[in-house]
Amino acid sequence: MSAPFATQLLGWKKLKKSGNLVPNSADSDSNTSKALAGSILNFLGVTADMLLPDTPENLGPALERAVSIDLTDSLPKADPSRLWHVDHRKVISDFSQYSHLRRVADAVKANPTLRTDLGVDYLIQPDVTVGISQKLTAEDLRPFLHAAVSCKWTIRSDRVQNIRHEFLQMIRHRRGRLPHLVTVTAEPMPSRIAAIARGTGEVDAVYHIAFDALREAVAAVGGRQQQEDLAECIDQGRLRPYEELASTLATW
């Protein structure tokens, strides 16, 4: 089980300095990461001699676009009764429960003191947003923000902090029901996935684009810590297959 676009993005890359081939989801400085990522590719049937010229170099934005395109197609099929709005990097103030932030931003812009005290980091642009049209009034013509998806090709400590910060701002500033706050990743190391999957609720769940291959890779070449971290994340419902994302959003 893997995302429909997984093998379009996951592949091998040639290091500029050494010329060695490494998986494009691996940390080239980590032998554990390279072993797990290579095993994932093997389980997906992507061998080292398949160095595809059309594999994107900038994989973060490519993952964002792939998720956006996939959800645009899959959500109306999962629930045709709703009018879905899937967008790439749309500011949250364009949605009903955050529309007041535009007025806050205007006030902050006009007042240097407020700008110093409040900053402007509440006008967040999630990588992918999922909105739903609802009964609109003359005062509110914006759709409801149903989900915010943070797409991170791999997980590093700075990216974890960025996800938590953005989602905490969305939790604090909403006026209405909280959107589903999730992360989509291709990270091969469960210990790094656990860094964002664990926590106090800033992230509802992490969805992996090659979930079954990840489990097989960890069982085959992962050490005890990687196996324990993966089991914890899955058993606690914090790490899920990407294929469940659309159905989860459609039934939530």
Strands (E), 51-210: 84-88, 128-132, 144-152, 180-185, 205-208
Q: What is the mean pLDDT of the chain?
A: 90
pLDDT surpassing 80 at residue 105: no
> Left, alpha or beta for 89 (phi > 0: left; psi -120 to 50: alpha)?
left
Beta carbons of 123 and 98 less than 8 angstroms apart: no
48: CB partners within 8 A, 6+ apart: 12, 21
* pLDDT tens, residue by residue, 4-41: 999 999 999 988 878 889 999 999 999 999 999 999 99
Segment (H or E) for 241? strand 239-241
All structural domains of the chain, each given as residue ranges with its CATH number in brackets, are 58-251 (3.40.50.10010)
> Left, alpha or beta for 201 (phi > 0: left; psi -120 to 50: alpha)?
left
pTM of the predicted model as reported, rounded to 2 decimal places: 0.91
> Left, alpha or beta for 168 (phi > 0: left; psi -120 to 50: alpha)?
alpha
Of 154, 144, 153, 151, the closest CA to residue 128 belongs to: 151
Q: Which carries the bigger pLDDT value, residue 201 or residue 224?
A: 224
pLDDT surpassing 80 at residue 130: yes
Q: What is the pLDDT of residue 1?
A: 75
Token digits of residue 233: 């994340």
What sign does the dihedral 92-98-103-108 (CA atoms) show?
Answer: negative
Of 201, 185, 191, the closest CA to residue 240 belongs to: 185
- If you average pLDDT over residues 54-58, what whole number do you get? 72
Q: From CA 248, how far away is CA 50, in angstroms rounded?
A: 34
Q: Say how many residues make up the chain.
A: 252
- If you average pLDDT over residues 224-244, what whole number do you get? 97
Strands (E), 71-123: 84-88
Q: Which carries the bigger pLDDT value, residue 102 or residue 151?
A: 151
* pLDDT tens, residue by residue, 142-176: 899 999 999 999 999 888 999 999 999 999 999 99
Beta-carbon count within 10 A of 8 CB: 14
pLDDT surpassing 80 at residue 57: no
Q: Picking from 5-9, 84-88, 137-141, 203-207, which range would have the lowest pLDDT averaged per residue? A: 137-141
Helix (H, G, I), strand (E, B) or coil at 162: helix
What are the residues facing 84 on neighbouring strands? 132
* pLDDT tens, residue by residue, 167-201: 999 999 999 999 999 999 999 999 999 999 998 78
pLDDT surpassing 80 at residue 134: no
Q: What is the pLDDT of residue 115?
A: 56
pLDDT surpassing 70 at residue 120: no
Using CB atoms within 10 A of its CB, is residue 82 exposed (0-12), middle (13-18) or buried (19+)? middle
Using CB atoms within 10 A of its CB, is residue 65 exposed (0-12), middle (13-18) or buried (19+)? middle
pLDDT surpassing 60 at residue 237: yes
